[in-house]
Structure formats: structure tokens, C-alpha cells
């Protein structure tokens, strides 16, 4: 198993400007291809922006799985032979919407995950998903999907890891919050721990750019199976393209001593 090159491209969508956002993603995807990238991760809700006033506005911004952004991503994945993971506002039936992530493969296969743990006012707007994080057996490795606040539920991350994920890709929008000087943002610390206790790579792609009074950490990060950052891991609220080469075989070996295995050491009967 060779190394997998992954890019997280931290961008700032504009709410209410879907054409702008779509063009932004195309630029990032084409840019990653020039680095021979096999997987690109883009932020949560990059297709639409984040700070919706209400469900009505989110519904207007939403698109179905055959909408223009998903269609573009399918076309680019096939043209450029790249796997695209990105967040979008998904139009459901009956006027509902989901905070979703797409994994688009060059083969044309589309996997969609709907955020199961909603953050703050998302609960007033989005319908939460009820399905576990998918683990997609792609041509370049087993890739799991979840979104932002999902990462704060270690039980959820565990599901993806036990289902065999080598790499967890997570579009995120991490709202900025106070923290002690010289401390890494807590969201990044949690990503590190999630990776280490599962021996799984994680690529979390954040956004930047103030939107309706909210700003973001700009903390995109790619961590290895020991939980140490390979790229990113600082608050950098500007556009940035993180690149890392992941020796995915490390994620297939869950042994951490002569007698320990991060998953077999679990005692589910006691939890």
C-alpha cells in the first residue's frame, strides 16, 4: 500500500452566492490536481455558506443530488481522477434540508453523509441524519465521512474506525472561541485524540472568513495515526492549501505494544 496524497483546501464561501462558491471549489480542485493529489477535502457547507437566518433561506440555498454543484464535482472527479469530499446544503423532501457531505469518486459513485450531531442553531434549520458515518472502499483506501461537531462525539468516530476507515475526512466550520494564549484550538486537540485512540488518519478542512458576525478558527489539519499533525494545526484564518502524504498501511496496524490493540482492547460488555 503506497502513500495517499490528500489536500485540505481552506476556503471562504459567500452566503447567497452559489455561483461564486461553485467556482471557488473548482479552482481548489483543479489546483490540487496539479500536485497529483488523490483526495481533496473542502469545508462544511462550502456550496452554500453557513449562517442561515432560517430554514427558508437554507432551503433556497439547498440543492438536490443532481444539482449544479454536485454535478460539477462529479464531472471534475471523473475528468481529473480525484476523490472530492465537500460539504453542501442538501435539499430533502417536504421542505427539509440536511447539513451533508459528499464523497465523489472518479467512477461516478456518490456517497452522501448527513450530519447526525447538529451544532447550535443548526438544530433550528437542518434535519439530522440517522445513519452512521459511511466508510467507502475507494480505489485508494477506505475513507470515512463525518462533519464538524460529529467529531466531538468519540463514539461516532469509533464507529467509523471500527468499520475499517483508514482516513476520516471531515468538512468542518469551527466557530472561533477564546482560548489560552499558546494553546492549540481545542477542536484540533480533539481531532488528534480521535486519530490516536483509533490509529486512523484524519483530515479536517475548516473555513475562514467572517459571515454575519461569526468567524472561524481557520484550523484545518491533517493528522497521522499517532495523532500528530502532518499539516496545519494552527489557527490560520486565511485561505490555505494543506498537503500531506499518508502511509495508510499504518492505519491497518492497530497494535500499539506487544500486547495491545486499540480496538481489541475495548471491553464493550462494560460500556
Residues that bind a second copy (CB under 8 A): 116-124, 130, 132, 149, 152-156, 158-159, 179-180, 183, 186, 189-190, 192-194, 196-197, 226-229, 257-260, 262, 265-268, 270-271
Which long-range CB contacts under 8 A does 108-112 form with residues at least 24 apart? 108/74, 108/77, 108/78, 109/136, 110/65, 110/70, 110/74, 111/136, 111/145, 112/65
Least distance (Å) from a second copy to the CB of residue 120? 4
Is the Cβ of residue 42 or residue 231 nearer to a second copy in the bound state? 231
How distant is the alpha carbon of residue 50 from its chain centre? 15
Least distance (Å) from a second copy to the CB of residue 85? 21
Which residues are within 8 A (CB) of 266 and not within 5 positions of it... i.e. 6 or more apart? none
Is the Cβ of residue 66 or residue 269 nearer to a second copy in the bound state? 269
Is the Cβ of residue 75 or residue 255 nearer to a second copy in the bound state? 255
Which residues are within 8 A (CB) of 88 and not within 5 positions of it... i.e. 6 or more apart? 45, 46, 47, 48, 63, 69, 70, 100, 101, 102
**Distance of alpha carbon 102 from alpha carbon 232, whole angstroms:** 23
Question: Which positions are annotated as active-site residues?
Answer: 44, 115, 148
Least distance (Å) from a second copy to the CB of residue 220? 18
Least distance (Å) from a second copy to the CB of residue 270? 7
Amino acid at each position: 500500500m503506497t502513500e495517499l496524497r490528500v489536500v485540505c483546501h481552506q476556503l471562504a464561501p459567500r452566503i447567497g452566492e452559489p455561483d461564486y462558491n461553485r467556482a471557488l471549489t473548482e479552482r481548489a480542485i483543479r489546483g490540487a490536481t496539479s500536485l497529483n493529489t488523490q483526495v481533496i477535502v473542502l469545508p462544511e457547507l462550502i456550496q452554500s455558506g453557513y449562517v442561515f437566518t432560517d430554514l427558508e433561506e437554507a432551503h433556497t440555498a439547498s440543492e438536490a443530488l443532481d444539482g449544479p454543484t454536485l454535478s460539477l464535482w462529479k464531472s471534475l472527479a471523473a475528468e481529473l481522477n480525484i476523490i472530492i469530499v465537500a460539504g453542501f446544503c442538501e435539499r430533502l423532501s417536504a421542505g427539509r434540508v440536511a447539513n451533508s457531505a459528499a464523497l465523489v469518486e472518479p467512477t461516478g459513485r456518490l456517497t452522501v453523509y448527513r450530519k447526525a450531531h447538529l451544532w447550535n442553531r443548526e438544530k433550528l434549520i437542518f434535519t439530522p441524519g440517522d445513519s452512521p458515518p459511511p466508510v467507502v472502499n475507494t480505489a485508494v483506501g477506505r475513507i470515512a465521512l463525518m462533519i464538524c461537531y460529529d467529531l466531538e462525539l468519540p463514539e461516532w468516530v469509533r464507529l467509523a474506525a471500527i468499520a475499517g476507515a483508514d482516513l476520516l475526512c471531515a468538512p468542518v466550520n469551527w466557530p472561533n472561541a477564546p482560548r489560552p494564549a499558546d494553546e492549540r484550538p481545542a477542536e484540533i486537540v480533539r481531532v488528534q485524540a480521535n486519530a490516536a485512540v483509533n490509529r486512523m488518519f484524519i483530515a479536517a478542512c475548516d473555513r475562514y472568513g467572517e459571515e454575519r458576525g461569526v468567524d472561524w478558527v481557520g484550523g484545518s489539519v491533517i493528522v497521522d495515526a499517532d495523532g500528530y499533525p502532518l499539516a496545519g494545526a494552527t489557527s490560520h484564518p486565511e485561505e490555505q492549501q494543506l498537503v500531506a502524504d499518508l502511509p495508510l498501511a499504518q492505519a491497518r496496524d492497530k497494535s500499539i505494544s506487544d500486547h495491545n490493540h486499540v480496538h481489541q482492547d475495548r471491553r464493550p460488555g462494560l460500556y
